[in-house]
Chain A
C-alpha cells in the first residue's frame, strides 16, 4: 500500500492551524488594541507615582442605598473557613470578614481600635489586658456573644493549626471572663502589641465555640460568626454565597443598619488574566489581585474603579547566614548591591506601580525612616563588585575556595511566573559580575518554605539565597521578633541571622505603645539590617481591588468609634459598607 499524501489537505491544515493560533492571539486590527495604546500614552504623560496609593477617605459624595447582590472574584479558595484551623490568605480574608467580626480593627493610621470590643486596656507592664465587649451582639444562630464565649474559644485556639502559633507568639496563657462583658487576657511576657493579635484572623475572629467543638469538620463549611453576612451556600472551589445578616449590630454614621448589600457571591478564579477578564466582561463586579502585572492591565482597561494599595508588603529574599559564603557580611553586601531593584520591578510588571523598598516599612507607615532609606545599599554594580572582590581575595575566605575563585550561589524561588522573571534578572546581574556562579532552582511553595525552615536541632535549612516576601500590615513585632530570634530556638528565623543588639531593640519595642519611641527603635533595627543585609528587598508589592463603577464603599469604611479603617491592605476588602449605586 503506497501512501499518497494530499497536498491541499496539508496546506489546509497548516492554514487552519495558523488561524487557530492567530485567533488565540487576537488580531491586532481590533479597535480595542489601539485604545489600549492610547491609554498607555496618557499614563506615561501623567506620572503614576502618586496614584500608586489610593487615598483612604470616607466617600460622602453619593447616596448610600440598600439592596443588590455582587460577585467577587478571588485569587484563591480556603478549603475550610475556620479561623483557628484554616489558613486565610488575603483573598480568602475578603470572604472571612463578611462572616466573622474581629475583636479589634486597624485604623488608617496603623493604630488599633475596638470592633466587637468596646475597649482594651493593659496593666502597667503589658502582661494583663482587660477587654470590654460590646453588648447585644448575636451570632448568626441566635446565640449571644459574651465574655464567656471568648474564654471558651481559648482552648480551641491552643490546638488550632493557625491559632496555636499565634497563642505562642503572643505569649497568651489564659483568657478568663470576669463578667458578661469583661474578659481578661494574661500573657507570659510583656507585649505592647497584643491588641494587634486581636485584629488578626486567627485570634481575633470570633466564632461560636460550642458549635465549633461539637463538630469541627462540619463548621469548616458552615461557619457561624457575628459578621454582617451569613453563609448561605458553599461549594468549595466553585462559589460561596453569603446573605445579609438582618440582625447585624453595626450602623453607619447616619444610624442606618448595616450592611447595605443583600448578597455576595465569592468565586475563586486562580488565573490572573481570567479574573480580570471576568471583571471586564461583567461576570463579577469586584476582583482582587496581589500582582503588579494585573494592576498594569487593569489600568489599561476602561470603566473600572481601581483601589490600589502600596502598603508595607515587599518582595525580596534572604541569605542563609549559617552557610558559607553567606556567613560573610561582604558577600551579602555585595550581592545586595548588585540587586538591580528597578529591573526586578520591571520584570514583575510593576513599573510605575510599585516602588523600590529600602526597609521593613512602606513610605506610608508611621515607622518609615529617612535615615534607614539612606542607609540601604541601593543598586551599585561596581561597588558590589569591589565589595565581593575583597572576599574573593581573602585567603581566609569562609567557603574554603582558592583566592580569586568565584563564589557559588543557589538562588531559589517558588514557581510563580512573575518570580521566575525576577529571579532570572537577579541571576543574570550576579553572573555578569563574573564573580558568582549562580544556579537557579524552583520548588513548589511547600518545599520552598520547608527548605528555609530546616530541621531540628539547629534549623539551619538547606537554602542559600531564597526568595521571600517580607513585612505586612501587621504589627512589625509579629514577624521581626520571631524572625530574628536565636535561630536554634526559632525555626522561623529563616535567615539564621542573629544580632544581640537588634534582638534587644526588638524586645524593647514590644514594651511600649508610644509610636515615636517605637519608631526610634525600629529605625535602629532597619539600620542594622541595612548594614548586615541578612535579607534583601526588591520592591513593594502593590495590591489592588478593582470594581465595576457602580460598586461603592470599598474605600473609607469606619470603626464603631467613627475613625476611618485601614481600607483594603493586601487587597483585603471589607464589604460591610459596600453599596450599589443605581
Chain B
C-alpha cells in the first residue's frame, strides 16, 4: 500500500470497537487529557495547535489583507522581492529578514510555510469531515439494515475501492475542472467516503449485536431511532479515531498531487507545491526543500501521535475476531 493511496482503510484495525472510557468523559476532559499525555504527545499537541493557529491566522490575513502582519516576520507569501521592494535573492539561507530563507523566486519561506498550513489543513480536514459524516451514516446503515441496502452500498464502495485512488482523483481533477482549494478538498472528500463506510460498517456490525441494541429491538423501538440513537453514537468514536489518521494521510496526498502538478494552483503556497518547486534547484541548495519536508513530516507525525493517544484514551471492548 502506498501512503498516497487514500482508499486504504488500514492503520486502525477496522473492526476494533472503540469507546470512550468512563473517566475520559465529562468535565475537564481537556485538562485530564493533557495530564495523561507524555511530553512527546504534548509536543505533538503543541505543534498541531501551532499549525491550526497558523492556518486560522493566515486565513484571516488572506481575507483582510496583509498590512500590519510584518511584525512577526510575515510577508506577502507570493511577493517577488523586486516587486515588494526587498533585496532578497533566490535560494538564500535563513536571515533576520527571511527567518527560514527564500525560495527559488526569492519569496519568504517562513510566510509560505505558514500559508501552506492553511491549504494542508483545509484539504485534510474537509476530506476527513466529509468522509466521516457520509461514511459513518452509510456504513452504519449498511451494518444495521443488512440485506439489499448493505449489498448496494458495499458494492458501490467496493467498485471505488478497487480502483487506484490517485488515478481516480487525477481524472476527476482534470475532468471536473479548476484547481481551487474548495474543489480539490471536496473531490478528495468524495473519495474518502468509501473507506470510512467500510470502517463504520465493520464497527456497526458488532454494535448491532450488543445487548442494548437487542433490547431496543425487542421492545419495538423504531429502527430509525435505533440507528441514530444507538448505532451511530457508538460507532462514531472509532470512526473519529480513524479520521485523525486519515487526515494525516490526506496531508501527504496533497504532496503527491503537487508532485504531478495538479494541486491547488499557484501562486497559492502549499507544502507540496513548495517541495515541488524546490526540487528543481536541489543541486544548488537543499535548504528550501527542507522546510516543507519538515512541515509535512511533523504535521503528519503529530496527527498520528494524537490519533494514537485518542485511541489509548478509549477502551477496547470486544474484538473483531
Q: Using a CB–CB distance below 8 Å, which chain A residues touch chain B?
A: 1-7, 9-11, 13-14, 17, 21-22, 24-26, 272-273, 276, 293, 296-297, 300, 343, 346-347, 349, 414-418, 420-421, 423-425, 427-429, 432, 440-444, 447
Contact = CB atoms under 8 A, between A and B. Distances in A.
B10 interface: no
13 contacts: A1-B315, A3-B309, A5-B38, A5-B41, A6-B40, A7-B39, A10-B39, A17-B298, A343-B82, A424-B78, A428-B79, A429-B83, A447-B174
B105 A347 contact: yes
The list of the 8 closest CB pairs from A to B, nearest first, reads A5-B38, A10-B40, A415-B261, A3-B312, A25-B286, A297-B283, A428-B80, A424-B267
A496 to B, nearest CB: 23
Given A5-B37, A420-B261, A427-B267, A273 B105 contact: no
Nearest to B276: A417
Contacts of B280: 272, 293, 349, 417-418, 421
A441 B301 CA distance: 32
Contacts of A7: 38-40
Contacts of B281: 293, 349
Interface of B: 21, 36-41, 43-44, 78-80, 82-83, 90, 104-105, 174, 178-179, 260-262, 265-267, 273, 276-277, 279-284, 286-287, 289-290, 293-294, 297-298, 301, 305, 308-309, 312-313, 315-316
A425 B80 contact: yes
A98 to B, nearest CB: 30
A10 B78 CA distance: 35
B79 A11 contact: no
A289 to B, nearest CB: 12
Contacts of B78: 424, 428
Contacts of A25: 286-287, 289-290, 293
Nearest to A348: B280
Contacts of A414: 261
Given A3-B309, A428-B267, A17 B301 contact: yes
B36 A3 contact: yes
A281 B290 CA distance: 24
Which among B79, B279, B286 has the greatest number of chain A C-beta atoms within 10 A? B286
A11 B284 contact: no
Contact of A442 (B44, B104, B261, B283): B261
Given A300-B283, A346-B90, A428-B80, A441 B40 contact: no
A21 B282 contact: no
Nearest to A441: B265
A415 B38 contact: no
A121 to B, nearest CB: 49
Contacts of B297: 17, 21
A427 B260 CA distance: 21
Contacts of B308: 3
B265 A273 contact: no
A432 B85 CA distance: 12
Nearest to B290: A25
Contact of B262 (A296, A428, A442): A442
B293 A24 contact: yes
Nearest to B103: A421
Given A26-B286, A417-B277, A428-B83, A440 B265 contact: yes
B266 A420 contact: yes
Contacts of B39: 5, 7, 10
A6 B42 CA distance: 11
A429 B44 CA distance: 40
Contacts of A424: 78, 80, 105, 266-267
Contacts of A273: 279, 282-283
Contacts of B267: 424, 427-428, 440
B241 to A, nearest CB: 13
Given A2-B36, A24-B289, A429-B80, 4 more contacts: A25-B286, A276-B283, A349-B281, A441-B178
B162 to A, nearest CB: 24
A444 B80 contact: no
A59 to B, nearest CB: 29
A559 to B, nearest CB: 38
Nearest to B76: A428
Given A5-B40, A343-B80, A415-B260, A423 B266 contact: yes
A443 B174 contact: yes
Contacts of A10: 38-41, 43-44, 305
A17 B300 CA distance: 12
A418 B287 CA distance: 18
Contacts of B293: 21, 24-25
A300 B290 CA distance: 22
A347 B40 contact: no
A272 B59 CA distance: 35
Contacts of A420: 261, 266, 273, 276-277
B223 to A, nearest CB: 34
B104 to A, nearest CB: 6
A447 B262 CA distance: 12
Contacts of A416: 261
B272 to A, nearest CB: 12
Contacts of B315: 1
Nearest to B267: A424
A152 to B, nearest CB: 41
A287 to B, nearest CB: 14
A416 B261 CA distance: 7
Contacts of B41: 3, 5, 10
B179 A442 contact: yes
Nearest to B294: A21
Contacts of A423: 266
B261 A421 contact: no
